[in-house]
Amino acid sequence: MIWHKKPETNNWQKRIEGTIVAHLGIELLEVTQDTLSARMPVDERTFQPMKILHGGASVVLAETLGSIAGSMAVNQEEFFVVGQSITSNHLRPVTHGWVTGMAHAKHIGKRSQIWDIEIWNEEKKLVNTSRLTLAVIRK
């Protein structure tokens, strides 16, 4: 298991109140031994002017997943993580429903982490793939 201690998504729900995560309707779903998943609605909060999922909203979902997962992989009393870099490839448009993302660690080091995040539509077709680099910082 990659988590510092037993992970729970319900602890994060309170922490995301009043943030872009809550504004976009992102919901944490599940933590497994080495992944974190969440979903986001495709609606007026996440549309671009052509009424398709905004690429920036996909990046917000990806960075949210990677950042929360990265935080759960460190001792939060001593460290925190911040995003350093994200690359994102938008593969197909989505016009309605929900998209679901999953973060998986590629590297968890003492000073940095790298997370791969994939986002799918309701038909399980890949919509976006992103890679997030996090800095691990001592408090």
- How many domains does one find in the chain? 1
pLDDT score of 1: 78
Model pTM score = 0.95
Which is it for the CA torsion 66, 34, 5, 18, positive or negative? positive
For residue 100, give its domain range. 10-138
pLDDT score of 14: 82
Is 76 inside any structural domain? yes
Is 63 inside any structural domain? yes
120 band by pLDDT with thresholds 50, 70 and 90: very high
Rounded to 5°, the CA angle 60-115-93 comes to: 45
Q: Is 63 known to be catalytic?
A: yes
Distance (Å, rounded) from C-alpha 129 to C-alpha 69? 16
Is 1 inside any structural domain? no
Is 3 inside any structural domain? no
pLDDT score of 134: 98
pLDDT above 90 for 10: no
Average confidence (pLDDT) over 38-61: 98
CATH number for the domain that contains residue 44 = 3.10.129.10
Average confidence (pLDDT) over 83-98: 98
Is 5 inside any structural domain? no
Is 67 inside any structural domain? yes
Q: Which of 17, 30, 44, 63 is catalytic?
A: 63
